[in-house]
Every structure is written in structure tokens, then in C-alpha cells.
């Protein structure tokens, strides 16, 4: 990172994060004539976008039923945002030659106890004239007593999508700096100053598209719950017999255990076993449970790959897209997609770029972080309880060495707010159970609101 003084960058807008939200925002700003710089600490392959299932859907399991509790106006805005994002993503990727596969999306009731949830989804869809249909016999090899089907949705290969969009960024002349972590965001009269590991970035505006804003900015980390889920990819057995029509759908269950399914050629992608980050003592067991379920219900051969991904849910069940602080456009954020980020991450890019270019989307105000007051709930209370318990434990200055034998002894006190991290065997990482920061076996920060590594023991 260098400019005239060797350490400082200047731009109209700085975008932090180059998953789908940051990439779309930067692209649209550049197309609108803004001078944009993008910085990210992590490789593109580790972003939430790249590690997702690749579903682009407006149905989104039972999420619409939860959004509907805010009323028809908010529900309509949420669906309009998703439609705008999905439409932009489909059109842009097809122009770039990236395959976009049409699929019908199913929200599935595995037991009769899940049918009430499906009724609520159908009602929400009807309220916004989203053409969802009831299906009594969905084409699945797993137990199902019914499903809601929304036709004409899509799936993509997320890494291929990000790679193509990144190339387009470069063609638009956007400066992209990898391996640069933001340590501090400071508002000044002329805009913002970002202190980073590569120097200083000065801009009129900044977009924080990092899942959770770094540090304690705006207190938004208090409104977010970090969630981790697991995904596996399997080879289907030769001549595998699956129900007619299964390959033309993607699906997710309405109840527990959550299972997300889609095919990719002769491969099967299975997701599920989600939990709050840092609060699962047996992460490897989560993957084993997913494996056992898959082998029980599908004609699979070898498992090719297993991984996990992190996303954030909000206290309102709505994404937070807009000013981090009320009435101040110098710092904008986008987060809280609750594992349904492809359509709404693209929508966030449309909303944020439109706001800064003076072309606001009419559905965007309903999704702003302060459009409605925070709504503390049971999960908020549990997080506060964890924080207090961690402070008590942190007083003894706990330390640890990765059980695998790799890494060096590190302090187990998270530098964000003093949570005590625990070992994640599957990811070989130290995870904070309070606000979801994660660190490597050597204590090096991987993701989350923390901005510093774990201290040496």
C-alpha cells in the first residue's frame, strides 16, 4: 500500500472486505465514477461468500415468516431487496460467462410438527405476492411430509462468481489491497481515517463489509450473533437412484436438525449442524453427524471435502445495511444475512452504492441498522451471560497451546472484549464464545470483531 508518502492511500470511498457485499459495492461505485479502494485481511477463498452453498433464493427457509413479524411494508422491502440483488447477480454473472443454474427452492417439513412453520412461510409469501406453492410429496429421499416450493431460483459456484467479479473490479481500475487488516476506523471532519497493517487510508466514506464491523464500532457487535455451520461435498454413487426432479431443486429443512441440500453435477452438497461460534465443544462431532446422516439417506461414494462457514444473525432477523451510527454516512455497514447472503449481499451493494451516488433504492430505508430499535432477546441474554462468565475466568489469565501440538502457548483472553477462547478441533482454531472472533493455533487473528492477535502466554 503506497501513495506519495509511501504509507497512505486516499480515495473517495474505502471498502473493507471483498466478499460479495464489498465487491458489488466497489463495482457499482466505480461504475458511478467514484474513486474506490478495497482492502481485506483474508484471501478471497476464506470469505463467507466463497464458503457458502451458492444458493440464490428469495424463499430462504423460514426466514420470510420471521421477517413478516415486522409488517407488510418491511416484508415487501426485504423481498424487493432480495429480488434486486438476485437479478443483478444473475445478469452480471451470465454476462461474465459464469454458469447460473436455475433451481426451484424447497423449504421442507420433515415431521408434522414442522407444518405450522410452512404455513407461516406460505402466508408471508402470499402477503407479498411471491408465488410460492404447497407440495405434498416433495422429490426428496429424506423423510418429508410436505414442502413450500418457490420456482425460478438459482445456484452458482461461489468461488467462480467471486473470481469473475474480482477480475471485473480490476478492469474498472479499482485498487485492491489483499492482506491488509483494519485496526481502527476514525471519523474526521473530512470523512474517515483507517489505521491498517499496511498504513493509513483516508477517504470521504468507508463501507465495512466484513461480517461484523472491526473493533467496537457503533456497538453493532452487541446486536449480532456469530454462527458457524458445516458443509460437505460428496460424490454420488454411479447410477445413483434419486427421486425424479430432485436434481432440479435445492432445499433446506424447516425444523431440526437443519439440512441444506443441492447438487452440482454428479456431486451432492450437504450443509447443517449450525451452532453459535465458540460454544460447541465437539466441532468434529458435528461433521461426523452430518456424514452419518448423508450416508443414511443418499447413495454416496467418497466424501470429497468438508468445511465450515461463519455468518451473523441480528436481533431483528433483518440484515443491517446503512449507517453504523444514526444520521452519519461516513461509516456504512452491511451484515446480518443469517446464512442467506448471496441475494441480499448483492442487494446491500446496490443500496450502499446508490446511497453514496445519490441514487437511493426505495426499499433500502427499511433495512438500515437504526430503522427500528434493537430488540434484545434470549440469545442476547445468553451472550451477556457468557461475557460476564468470561471476565471472571479472564482474571486468572488463562493460556493454552493447541491440542494438536502446533502453535505456541497463547493467552486465551480475546483482545476484543475479554472473552475466553476455546479450542475448535475441526477448524484447528481458537474461537471466542462471546462475539465470534477466531484465531489460528498460533494466535493469529482469522476473523471477527477483534483487531489484534491473541497475546503470547
Q: Is residue 53 part of a domain?
A: no
Write out residues in the chain with pLDDT < 50, as ranges.
3-6
- The predicted pLDDT at position 405 comes to 67
Q: Is residue 368 part of a domain?
A: no
Q: Is residue 406 part of a domain?
A: yes
Q: Is residue 427 part of a domain?
A: yes
Q: Is residue 401 part of a domain?
A: yes
Domain span at residue 426 reads 378-447
Q: Is residue 3 part of a domain?
A: no
CATH of the domain at 402: 2.102.10.10
Q: What's the structural domain count of the chain?
A: 1
- The predicted pLDDT at position 215 comes to 87
- The predicted pLDDT at position 5 comes to 43
Q: Which three cell numbers stand for residue 411?
A: 493467552
- The predicted pLDDT at position 7 comes to 60
The answer to whether residues 143 and 155 touch, using CB atoms and an 8 Å cutoff, is no
Q: Is residue 85 part of a domain?
A: no
- The predicted pLDDT at position 217 comes to 82
Q: Which three cell numbers stand for residue 220?
A: 453493532
List the one residue out of 366, 362, 344 whose CA is nearest residue 354. Answer: 362
Q: Is residue 385 part of a domain?
A: yes
- The predicted pLDDT at position 276 comes to 96
Amino acid at each position: 500500500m503506497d501513495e506519495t508518502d509511501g504509507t497512505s492511500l486516499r480515495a473517495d470511498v474505502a471498502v473493507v472486505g471483498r466478499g460479495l457485499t464489498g465487491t458489488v459495492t466497489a463495482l457499482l461505485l466505480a461504475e458511478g465514477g467514484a474513486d474506490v479502494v478495497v482492502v481485506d485481511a483474508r484471501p478471497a477463498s476464506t470469505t463467507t461468500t466463497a464458503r457458502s452453498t451458492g444458493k440464490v433464493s428469495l424463499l430462504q427457509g423460514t426466514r420470510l415468516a420471521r421477517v413478516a413479524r415486522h409488517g407488510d411494508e418491511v416484508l415487501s422491502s426485504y423481498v424487493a431487496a432480495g429480488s434486486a440483488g438476485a437479478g443483478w447477480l444473475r445478469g452480471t454473472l451470465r454476462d461474465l460467462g459464469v454458469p447460473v443454474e436455475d433451481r426451484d427452492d424447497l423449504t421442507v417439513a420433515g415431521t408434522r410438527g414442522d407444518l405450522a412453520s410452512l404455513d407461516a412461510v406460505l402466508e408471508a409469501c402470499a402477503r407479498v405476492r411471491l408465488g410460492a406453492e404447497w407440495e405434498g410429496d416433495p422429490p426428496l429421499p429424506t423423510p418429508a411430509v410436505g414442502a413450500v416450493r418457490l420456482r425460478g431460483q438459482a445456484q452458482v459456484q461461489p468461488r467462480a462468481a467471486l473470481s469473475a467479479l474480482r477480475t471485473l473490479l480490476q478492469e474498472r481500475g479499482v485498487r485492491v489491497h489483499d492482506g491488509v487488516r483494519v485496526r481502527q476506523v476514525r471519523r474526521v471532519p473530512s470523512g474517515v481515517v483507517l489505521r491498517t497493517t499496511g498504513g493509513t487510508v483516508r477517504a470521504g466514506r468507508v463501507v465495512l463489509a466484513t461480517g461484523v464491523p472491526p473493533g467496537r464500532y457503533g456497538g453493532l457487535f452487541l446486536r449480532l450473533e456469530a454462527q458457524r455451520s458445516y458443509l460437505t461435498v460428496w460424490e454420488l454413487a454411479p447410477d445413483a437412484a434419486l427421486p425424479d426432479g430432485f436434481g432440479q431443486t435445492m432445499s433446506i429443512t424447516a425444523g431440526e436438525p437443519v439440512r441444506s441440500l443441492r447438487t452440482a453435477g454428479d456431486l451432492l452438497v450437504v450443509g447443517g449442524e449450525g451452532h453459535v461460534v465458540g460454544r460447541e465443544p465437539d466441532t468434529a462431532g458435528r461433521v461426523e453427524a452430518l456424514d452419518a446422516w448423508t450416508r443414511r439417506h443418499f447413495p454416496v461414494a467418497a466424501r470429497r471435502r468438508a468445511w465450515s462457514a461463519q455468518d451473523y444473525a441480528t436481533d431483528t432477523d433483518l440484515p443491517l445495511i446503512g449507517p453504523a451510527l444514526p444520521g452519519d454516512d461516513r461509516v456504512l455497514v452491511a451484515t446480518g444475512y443469517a446464512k442467506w447472503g448471496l441475494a441480499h449481499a448483492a442487494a446491500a451493494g446496490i443500496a450502499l452504492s446508490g446511497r453514496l451516488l445519490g441514487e437511493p433504492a426505495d426499499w433500502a430505508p427499511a433495512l438500515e441498522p437504526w430503522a427500528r430499535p434493537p430488540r434484545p432477546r434470549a440469545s442476547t441474554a445468553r451472550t451477556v451471560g457468557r461475557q460476564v462468565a468470561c471476565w471472571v475466568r479472564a482474571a486468572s489469565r488463562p493460556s493454552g497451546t493447541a491440542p494438536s501440538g502446533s502453535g505456541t502457548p497463547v493467552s486465551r483472553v480475546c483482545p476484543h472484549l475479554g472473552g475466553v477462547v476455546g479450542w475448535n478441533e475441526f477448524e484447528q482454531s481458537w474461537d471466542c464464545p462471546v462475539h465470534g472472533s477466531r484465531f489460528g493455533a498460533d494466535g493469529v487473528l482469522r476473523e471477527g470483531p477483534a483487531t489484534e492477535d491473541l497475546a503470547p502466554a
